[in-house]
Amino acid sequence: MNKQYFGTDGIRGEVGKGVITPEFVLKLGWAVGRVLSQQGTHKVLIGKDTRISGYMLESALESGLSAAGVNIGLLGPMPTPAIAYLSRTFRADAGIVISASHNPYQDNGIKFFSKDGTKLGDDLELAIEAELDKPMSIVESGKLGKAKRIDDAAGRYIEFCKSRYPSDMSLKGLKIVVDCANGATYHIAPNVLRELGAEVIDIGTSPDGVNINLNCGATSLNALKAKVLETQADVGFALDGDGDRLMMVDHKGNVIDGDQLVFIIARDALRRGEMHGGVVGTVMSNLGMEIGVKRLGIPFLRSKVGDRYVLELLKENGWFIGGESSGHIINLHMTSTGDGIISGLQVLRAMQTSQMSLYELSLGMDKYPQKLINVRFGEGQQPLESEQVKQAVRDVESALGDTGRVLMRKSGTEPVIRVMVEGENLADVDKFAQQIADTVQQAVN
């Protein structure tokens, strides 16, 4: 069955339009509560990022869940991976995150974790959608759910993150700039790094409800690069608005993306004799990552775009390291979902144990030039079905031959076509990507 509301990472959209309204989210909370109640379960945690709309949507979700007879634990602003972890430790039946991740403040969304701290399966998402089609009812007053605020959530998660770093090591002597994107990690990430001994310079830690991801964080690295160079820091962290994404900057100001970080983590695990199985990337992962990993003798597979698909392929093969170039990195030997802070700690561990800088570690993987262009399209439009677009792709693939590739896909989180071209020559890659993007734009117009 096709899903009507759920995308690759929950339900997302512009606040006040479509489904991101108090009315729909109230009904969604009720539908989730109904599905959980049918399984004999009655406890859910709710966390959110720092968007101003989070207050409104949190109240609506709380009301819907209560109407279905489910008790609620309110976590306040917390990173997405923290909610996955806390869902497990509180023995909750689900964790709900109110966040649109790296999107601007005008957007928001709802995503879910199971009691195991993993994304909900398709079966549960379809069951929730089926309940949404039914008229809303309310349990009798004595069975309504109760809500309670959990005050020590941040401290619990900080201790968990610290426990993922070897107890006989510290970050003493490292100067680290961390950019929290004015998002959910603003009161978490700096404290984790400081308590492990690092000298920390934090930016993007003054959320006001509307500045989340605004010229900061994992999707906008200029501020981090400038601060690393200004302070002569050893390394820079950039997290996104909900903390499940990580990009890094070395001491020279070079951006180290998710593909490079996965490679560094995998190679370090191999060096320690702890690499079991292979690495999972996605169809968007740089060809240089695949070549570099295989050169180490590590198997490599590609999934569809989306950390849930990376996770599925990891579990299917019994592997534990994977990720996306955008910075979603999964370390299943450390935690159950993508976690920017914990991924960063694995990279710092590789730096400490190898006595190498992030710049030196990144030299082990040669990135192929890659160009990604997003083309926005309107409701009901299908530009990928255009014969002109298909011919433009065929022409570029013919020109690249075996030295590159073209990938065309619809985003799962916003109405854009992602045009990606990869090859050996940067000028050709830029030219071919623009050529295809222009054709897609013509089809949209």
Could you tell me the two tokens for 175? 């100067």
Closest CA to 51 of 223, 242, 243, 247: 242
For 165, 267, 291, 331, 399, the CA distances from 273, given in Å and listed in that order, are 17, 10, 21, 16, 42
Structure tokens at 158: 């900080």
CB atoms within 10 A of CB 424: 12
Give me Rg for the CA atoms of the chain. 22
Tokens for 121?
Answer: 């399966």
Give the length of the chain: 445
* Helix pair 340-354, 80-89: axis angle to 10 deg: 100
- Known catalytic residues are 101
Give 82-114 as a DSSP string.
HHHHHHHHTT-SEEEEE--TTS-TTEEEEEEEE
From the centroid of its chain, how far is CA 324? Answer: 9
- Under a CB-based contact definition with an 8 Å cutoff, are residues 246 and 344 in contact? yes
| Phi, psi angle pair for 421, to nearest 5° | -125, 140
Amino acid at 138: I
Distance of CA 339 to the CA centre of its chain: 8
Separation CA 280–CA 24 (nearest Å): 36
Q: Which long-range contacts (CB under 8 A, 24 or more apart) does 418-422 make?
A: 418/284, 418/372, 418/373, 418/374, 419/372, 419/373, 419/374, 419/375, 420/284, 420/370, 420/371, 420/372, 421/370, 421/371, 421/396, 422/286, 422/287, 422/368, 422/369, 422/370, 422/371
**Dihedral sign, CA of 302, 307, 313, 317?**
positive
Q: What are phi and psi of 238, to 5 degrees?
A: -130, 120
CA dist., res. 229 & res. 232, Å (int): 5
Determine how many CB atoms are found less than 10 A away from the CB of residue 27.
Answer: 20
